[in-house]
């Protein structure tokens, strides 16, 4: 589990049923590309977040495959439909097998 990996997601607290909302997401992660070399000239192995998924009440909003060209501290902004109250679950999958996630609830109002 890489250290200092923390998600940061903005979801409005409420929305009207059927609204489209903008979600901004970021996770602190080095995204070691596998292109860099260390002081001895050896390649530093790739270690990145390779997949980011967003689900709402179990249904898919976004499933994104990431490659090393995604910048450090991957940021993704997208739009989601809010048919009803519920939970957005954001999940990031790390090359090293770790899985990071955070949940944001939204109410109808």
Partner 1 sequence: MTKPMGNTLTAIALAAVAFGTVAAADEAADLVINGDQEMVIRTAAPEHLSDVLDEINSGWLYRKDETQLLQMDDFDNPGMIFVDLAQDAWNAVDGSEEKSCASCHDNVEDTMKGVRAVYPKWNETAGEVRTLAHQINDCRENQMGAEKWKYTGGKMTAMEALISVQSRGMPVDVAIDGPAQSTWEQGKEMYYSRTGQLELSCANCHEENFGNMIRADHLSQGQINGFPVYRLKNAKLNNAHARFKGCVRDTRAETYKPGSPDFVALELYVASRGNGLSVEAPSVRN
Partner 2 sequence: MEFSRRETLALGLGAAVVTVMPFSVNAAADDVIATFTGGADMADTGIELTAPEIAENGNTVPVAVSAPGASAIILIATGNPTPGVAQFNFGPLAASQSASTRIRLAGTQDIVAIAQMADGSFAKASATVKVTIGGCGG
Burial of 96 (0-12, 13-18, 19+ CB in 10 A): exposed
Please say which residue, 27 or 106, places its beta carbon nearer to partner 1: 27
Contact between 11 and partner 2 per CB under 8 A: no
Contacting residue, 2, 21, 28, 64, with partner 1 by CB under 8 A:
28
The item of partner 1, partner 2, none sharing an interface with residue 70, based on CB under 5 to 8 Å by kind, is partner 2
Contacting residue, 75, 87, 99, 103, with partner 1 by CB under 8 A:
75
Strands 7-10 and 75-82: unpaired
Q: Which token pair is 2?
A: 């890489």
Angle at 32 between CA 97 and CA 28, to 5 degrees: 75
Please say which residue, 33 or 50, places its beta carbon nearer to partner 1: 33
Q: Which token pair is 36?
A: 């860099």
The item of partner 1, partner 2, none sharing an interface with residue 20, based on CB under 5 to 8 Å by kind, is partner 2
Contact between 73 and 26 (Cβ < 8 Å): yes
Q: Which residue ranges make up the site for partner 2 (CB under 8 A)?
A: 20-21, 33, 35, 54-56, 59-72, 74-81, 83
């Amino acid at each position: 589990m890489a250290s200092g990996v923390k998600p940061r997601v903005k979801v409005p607290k409420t929305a009207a049923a059927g609204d489209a909302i903008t979600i901004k997401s970021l996770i602190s992660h080095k995204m070691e590309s596998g292109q860099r070399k260390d002081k001895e000239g050896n390649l530093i192995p790739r270690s990145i977040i390779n997949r980011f998924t967003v689900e709402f009440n179990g249904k898919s909003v976004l499933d994104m495959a990431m490659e090393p060209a995604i910048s450090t501290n991957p940021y993704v902004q997208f739009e989601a439909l809010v048919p009803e109250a519920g939970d957005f679950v954001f999940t990031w999958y790390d090359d090293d097998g770790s899985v990071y996630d955070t949940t944001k609830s939204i109410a109808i109002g």
